[in-house]
Chain A
């Protein structure tokens, strides 16, 4: 089954404790992206990657890191989480950047206390 998986689905952590949210896709997509969803603000892009070892900042990259060492994986790293990073996070992938359909993962609900 073609899908994007994220882990964990739910995470409660404390300020400053490094965490990683994993993302994996099995569709051989070139393009992967991370979004955060907050009420009234819609989906805002954090980082994206157009291919292996190619990543770039989205609209709200502060406080986040990513890496793309393999085509299928695109982990999101919060080195020192803060309460304002409490949000719902989605990973997405598509064949290429642009007009191609983006496939979203199921989301990760992160709470930072």
Chain B
């Protein structure tokens, strides 16, 4: 049973475009929502994370939008670059002491 559903599975955009990756969760007890970025041949690395007390968080060109009532959150990449081409995983957990549940992953390609 997948507790965090991620879409799309793959995404291709042109340089400068704004790719959007969406995640939906079922467990209303989740209160920590990180995104991990994985380059080919590397392990995932934390990109940005949000708690449900805010609706949006920005770090550079990366923004998380959070909709608590819809149980959805999304990653937006502004002015995307070829160097952003990677696999992105959303995740969720219930805070301290609980395990992280990952989404299925989105393979993003940004064409020059």
Contact = CB atoms under 8 A, between A and B. Distances in A.
B42 A42 contact: no
B43 A104 contact: yes
B interface secondary structure, majority: loop
A90 B49 CA distance: 21
A4 B44 CA distance: 12
Interface string A83-107: 0000000101000111101111111
Interface residues of B, number: 24
Interface string A41-62: 1111100100000000010000
Interface in A20-57: 33, 35, 37, 40-45, 48
Contacts of B102: 35, 42-44
Interface stretch (B14-22, B75-83, B91-99): B91-99
A103 B45 CA distance: 7
B52 to A, nearest CB: 12
B99 A107 contact: no
Interface of A: 4, 33, 35, 37, 40-45, 48, 58, 90, 92, 96-99, 101-107
